[in-house]
Amino acid sequence: MKVAKFGGSSLASGKQLEKVYNIVLSDPERKVIVVSAPGKRYSDDIKVTDLLITIGEKSLAGEVVEQELQAIVDRYAQIAEELNLTSEIIDKIRENLVGLINGDKSNPTLYIEALKAAGEDNNAKLVAAYFNARGQEAHYVNPKEAGLFVTNEPGNAQVLPESYENLYRLRERSGILIVPGFFGYSLDGAVLTFSRSGSDITGSILANGVKAELYENFTDVDAVYSVNPSIVKQPKEIRELTYREMRELSYAGFSVFHDEALIPAFRAGIPVNVKNTNNPSAPGTLIVSKRENKNGPVIGIASDDGFCSIYVSKYMMNREIGFGRKVLQILEDFGLSYEHVPSGIDDMTVVLREKQLNKEIELEVLQRIKNELNADEVIIEHHLALIMVVGEGMRHNVGTTARAAKALAGVDINIDMINQGSSEVSMMFGVKAQDEKRAVQALYNEFFASVLV
């Protein structure tokens, strides 16, 4: 049995739904189908989920939402029309949305959660109706009915372990099961969503629950690329990579597959196949627990900007027990999350996402570190980019860091920071944000130009 998840762009129009139908029907093992809400049809289109969030916010502020409601109903209606479905399904969708808009607002967060989930929920009903209209036995399955229970964390729900046993029972159901992605239910019956793009997470949970042989994640690219295609033209495709490699790459900016979605599949050892709805015969990328290392030490290079670093130095820091903890405690007091902490004998650097800071917080944090810890120097540096060079093969290869550093030196880029060794599968370089793209290109040339994939 396979679980197949289709993303928003795979379900954005009637034509796309036809492709989905053909893909599902071409393999009888594809029994559990997870769907996103209709996504973008073109680059500045608006996702249904974003329209729903606007409706929720406006409606809580007492504003009229008729226009947005109509825009959403029109999106579904257009799809239904393209597929020659009767208007019955669209009436049901409108009714559902109106019910939610007029629903209980006493808990504003839960009110928005229920609306946010409606994009997926109604899409699953629409997809099931389409499969039925084509003569297939297909059933819409609500996550509550399936037993997908989650923690009470709005926008960041986590699956509850008991869900997996409940979901196993889906195996006994007949026909194709169409499940909306992106949300589950708390034990007291409220709708709670996963983090954004969380339909990937639903797919992975279901794959684990039904003990699928494969979790297929259908999107709009042929593969996970070795580097961001908007930085390097036509980069090499990755055929196979490990969960750990995928985790590192998606952390640092690869958005093809949600990093949280790896966990349930990884725990059950289920391979994940990222595939293209628009080119289903392409093999895609397979994410597995172990792979043979054939093509050199590096599998991918990811980068992201928007980081800053706080450099702290104090003579004899190495003798002062608890110094690092105290620095991190100050950050915790401000609710700041950090990403990396490279350190030396008398200095440490804490790397964080700079969007968490504003001028006042920044000043207070620096002053507290300086005053409370008697630091000699506390310096913040803004506008940094982090580049992650990732590959299981790095551990066993001599000279990977030297090659990377040489490649950067070759294009005159100063390395502000290196963190190597804390992760077995990656190496991190901090450079000025303005150098990010050139750095990635240089590293790509070094590690991939001569590699056959």
The contact set with ligand ASP (CB under 6 A) reads: 8, 36-37, 47, 49, 119, 181-182, 196-199
- Shortest separation between residue 122's beta carbon and ligand ASP, angstroms: 12
What whole-number distance in Å separates Cα of residue 366 and Cα of residue 247? 32
- Shortest separation between residue 50's beta carbon and ligand ASP, angstroms: 7
Specify the residue, 193 or 349, whose C-beta has the smaller distance to ligand ASP.
Answer: 193
- Shortest separation between residue 62's beta carbon and ligand ASP, angstroms: 26
Kindly report the CA angle at 11 between 175 and 103, in degrees rounded to 5?
Answer: 85
Q: Strands of 377-390's sheet, edge to edge?
A: 338-340, 347-353, 300-313, 377-390, 426-432, 417-420
Measure Cα distances from 449 to 97, 290, 296, 452 in Å.
52, 25, 11, 9
Do 233 and 20 contact (CB within 8 A), yes or no? no
Structure tokens at 396: 């066993």
Specify the residue, 11 or 167, whose C-beta has the smaller distance to ligand ASP.
Answer: 11
Residue owning tokens 């800053």: 308
Specify the residue, 6 or 448, whose C-beta has the smaller distance to ligand ASP.
Answer: 6
DSSP secondary-structure letter at 159?
A: B
Specify the residue, 182 or 225, whose C-beta has the smaller distance to ligand ASP.
Answer: 182
Do 203 and 260 contact (CB within 8 A), yes or no? no
Q: Closest-CB residue for ligand ASP?
A: 199
Specify the residue, 39 or 271, whose C-beta has the smaller distance to ligand ASP.
Answer: 39
Do 348 and 340 contact (CB within 8 A), yes or no? no
What whole-number distance in Å separates Cα of residue 23 and Cα of residue 171? 20
What whole-number distance in Å separates Cα of residue 29 and Cα of residue 13? 25
Structure tokens at 111: 């009110």
Specify the residue, 143 or 235, whose C-beta has the smaller distance to ligand ASP.
Answer: 143
Please name the residues in contact with 161: beta carbons below 8 A apart, sequence gap of 6 or more. Answer: none
- Shortest separation between residue 69's beta carbon and ligand ASP, angstroms: 17
Specify the residue, 203 or 297, whose C-beta has the smaller distance to ligand ASP.
Answer: 203
Specify the residue, 198 or 264, whose C-beta has the smaller distance to ligand ASP.
Answer: 198
- Shortest separation between residue 260's beta carbon and ligand ASP, angstroms: 11
Specify the residue, 8 or 342, whose C-beta has the smaller distance to ligand ASP.
Answer: 8
Specify the residue, 59 or 122, whose C-beta has the smaller distance to ligand ASP.
Answer: 122
| 3 state DSSP class of 359 | helix
- Shortest separation between residue 362's beta carbon and ligand ASP, angstroms: 30
- Shortest separation between residue 200's beta carbon and ligand ASP, angstroms: 6
- Shortest separation between residue 354's beta carbon and ligand ASP, angstroms: 24
Burial class from Cβ neighbours inside 10 Å (0-12, 13-18, 19+) for residue 105 reads middle
**CA-based R_g, the chain, Å:** 24
Displacement of CA 345 from its chain's centroid (Å):
37
What is the pairing mode between strands 272-276 and 426-432?
unpaired
What whole-number distance in Å separates Cα of residue 425 and Cα of residue 445? 20
Alpha helices by DSSP H, 252-399: 262-268, 323-333, 359-373
- Shortest separation between residue 89's beta carbon and ligand ASP, angstroms: 19
Do 170 and 146 contact (CB within 8 A), yes or no? yes
Specify the residue, 219 or 309, whose C-beta has the smaller distance to ligand ASP.
Answer: 219
- Shortest separation between residue 37's beta carbon and ligand ASP, angstroms: 4
Do 257 and 274 contact (CB within 8 A), yes or no? yes
- Shortest separation between residue 209's beta carbon and ligand ASP, angstroms: 18
What whole-number distance in Å separates Cα of residue 114 and Cα of residue 192? 7
Residue owning tokens 């339909």: 199
